[in-house]
Amino acid sequence: MKKYSLSFLLLIFGISISAQKSIDQKVTELLSKMTLEEKAGQLVQYSGFEYATGPQNSNSKKVLEEIKSGKVGSMLNVTGAEETKAFQKLALESRMKIPMIFGQDVIHGFRTTFPINLGQAASWDLEMIEKSERIAAIEASAYGIQWTFAPMVDIARDPRWGRVMEGSGEDTYLGTKIGLARIKGFQGKGLGNIDAIMATAKHFAAYGAAVGGRDYNSVDMSLRQLHETYLPPFKAASEAGVATFMNSFNDINGVPATANKYILRDLLKDQWKFQGFVVSDWGSIGEMIKHGYAKDNAEAGEKAILAGSDMDMESNIYMEQLPKLVKEGKVDIKFVDDAVRRILIKKFELGLFDDPYKFSNSERQKQQTNNLEHRKFGREFGAKSVVLLKNEKKLLPLSKSTKTVALIGPFGKEAVAMHGFWSVPFKDDAQRIVTQFDGIKNQLDKNSTLLYAKGCNENDDNKSMFAEAIETAKKADVVIMTLGEGHAMSGEAKSRSNLHFSGVQEELLKEIAKTGKPIVLMINAGRPLVFDWAADNIPTIVYSWWLGTEAGNSIADVIFGNVNPGGKLPMTFPRTEGQIPIYYNHYNTGRPAGKSTDRNYVSAYIDLDNDPKFPFGFGLSYTDFKYSNFNLSSDNLKGNQTLTINVNVANTGKFDGEEVVQLYIRDLFGKVVRPIKELKGFQKIFLKKGENRNVTFKLTPEDLKFYDDTLNYDWEAGEFEIMVGTNSNDLMTKKIVWEK
């Protein structure tokens, strides 16, 4: 670290304190001038869907009047420099002239979309993830947006839940690292910069643990589990200065998250000292009536504000109820003031009081409309997210001079679908997106032919296109099949009980396989699917998610070997739906199944092997990696010492490639039982063929800490296993003792 003189540091520190102070003072001043109605107005967020093209084009005048009278603090779903400017103008007609904040679901890219978030997580590439959010922020902020409702940092162990596509998978350690990278990317050099947007840690909390994987469903779990598995990414986000949090729709142990005082007030605001504000999820304050937690709007508003929900997204309850509740003495004004203060601070930090139109600049918007550098990055990122599941006969990479290739399946010529769920729609989407067909065609030699047959639709029982697909396959030297689930079959409210390829896709695959032609099976999906027949019978399988604007180029780069795939699964892939939830870091139980085929009086199913189809952290490469010389600095440590772990990784195959080297530990005995494995580190390394490298990890007692049954967070002396390897199942193990 560079050395600075004490006086220089004091000066900088002094300036930042006084800047902060002056914002506080300005907010205090503003608050003292605001009426109760105006305060409530700052807590209101409206969707601009019906006004998306700007207020001038709208027939509905009610919301516009409310904006003019200072009753709307923020809007979502208004996009574009001109559009946001037009709305902002109305807000500035209000008595207090407080600008609005414009929010949007910028979930995996904006103009340039990137792989769906679960796909990004499969890259295990924190730098690229951060950069993708930087790009998203640059593009979105040029379209008048100052706030994204991302990252979703919900840990999710149930692929039936459709929103697994939006998160980083099942692991708390990986999910926390990725969440932090995203926040850094969005918020850039800090709010106030023209290309920095506010990030949102959502959905607070435990939304990913919905019973049965059914969206919006209840969550009932021990506080220990909540703290150990689900809360760490949120705590880290708060510590990293994420600007906002969003409530979750679910109840937690019987109390809706939106009015959960323990979660919002006691933990987030008091213990974690979160400085930003909390926005409700869409209508979640009003939904507390249906939950059976509030009998009417008044009670819902009262419970939400007291618990610590600051902004009301689309329930329209705070404006209607808060002034009354304060006058009746049911809500102390200090709760309203605190919520308004938090929101106003962010408006000041964003610089909106200095220039309310600063993000609404048509020139910038034009520059970011088709940024070729961003697309180039999107193409690389897409390829990095691909996971090679099988390549038994080394069919991949294909030669670009393969004479005839057939692309078969419902997703080959899909364009807009390549975005995956959650993208902001633009009129020119269809023209901008590279389909998988185009991407592959562009890379095949001029003298080669790419044939195409759809074969079937993504989700019906129509087999009338089978014959043409079979004929097409027969003409080809290699068939690339794109199967999976439709892009809108994962995402919000897209829970599925059946995770097989939808419709008649598997039947189509079986028919094509009968032709005897070599098949590359490419799976487009937003979640881990169940494809047992394919996994057992098709030797070449590539998991390609939904890769975004450059999807076709990214996938072609992998198929033809411009890029050697290095992605690793961020979720366990089950053998069948009945095995769900299945995750790598479970407890051992008193009767663990030793082998995958053990059935008798062990914790197992009598009708199914116990291991998953593909384990967490799994992914192949076109090359081979060999692990050796695994050694530890000591097998007996004391107190605050550091354990150094070394392993040599060699690229022994025929291609340059990347490997994610993974470190797991097991705490063998504890005050409470500990998982059989816990990811504690990973490094993504690039090795040229023939090259090898020593990879070093360090562990300190901090990494051994866990929550006990009284929620005390500490580590215990004892025996530990240290494991290193290429995935959560394929590990070398050494044992150590760590004393206090």
Length of the chain: 740
SS3 52: coil
Alpha carbon dihedral 348, 352, 355, 360, in 10-degree steps, equals: 160
Which positions lie near ligand NOJ, rule CB under 6 A? 76, 105, 149, 202, 281-282, 492
- 47, exposed or middle or buried, with CB in 10 Å at 0-12, 13-18, 19+? middle
Q: Which of 112, 113, 186, 101 is nearest to 150 (CA)?
A: 186
Could you tell me which residues come within 8 angstroms of residue 713 by beta carbon, excluding any fewer than 6 positions away?
A: 227, 705, 706, 707
Q: How far is the CB of 104 from ligand NOJ (least distance, A)?
A: 8
Q: How far is the CB of 76 from ligand NOJ (least distance, A)?
A: 6
Q: Which is nearer to ligand NOJ, 76 or 473 (CB)?
A: 76
The answer to whether 100 and 47 have CB atoms below 8 angstroms apart is no
Q: How far is the CB of 548 from ligand NOJ (least distance, A)?
A: 19
Distance CA 342, CA 355 (A): 19
Q: Name the amino acid, one letter, at 125.
A: D
Q: How far is the CB of 108 from ligand NOJ (least distance, A)?
A: 13
Distance CA 120, CA 386 (A): 9
598: annotated active-site residue: no
Q: Which of 214, 221, 212, 298 is nearest to 257 (CA)?
A: 221
DSSP 8-state secondary structure symbol assigned to residue 193: B
Q: How far is the CB of 698 from ligand NOJ (least distance, A)?
A: 36
Distance CA 331, CA 357 (A): 35
Q: Which is nearer to ligand NOJ, 106 or 417 (CB)?
A: 106
DSSP 8-state secondary structure symbol assigned to residue 419: G
SS3 383: helix
Q: Which of 154, 171, 281, 310 is catalytic?
A: 281
The answer to whether 334 and 67 have CB atoms below 8 angstroms apart is no
Q: How far is the CB of 282 from ligand NOJ (least distance, A)?
A: 4
SS3 691: coil
Q: How far is the CB of 311 from ligand NOJ (least distance, A)?
A: 12
Q: How far is the CB of 492 from ligand NOJ (least distance, A)?
A: 5
Structure-block tokens of residue 509: 């695959």
The answer to whether 547 and 370 have CB atoms below 8 angstroms apart is no
- Residue at shortest CB range from ligand NOJ: 149
Could you tell me which residues come within 8 angstroms of residue 613 by beta carbon, excluding any fewer than 6 positions away?
A: 530, 532, 535, 573, 574, 575
- End-to-end CA separation in angstroms for the chain: 31
Provide the β-strand partners of residue 451.
406
Tell me which residues are annotated as active site.
281
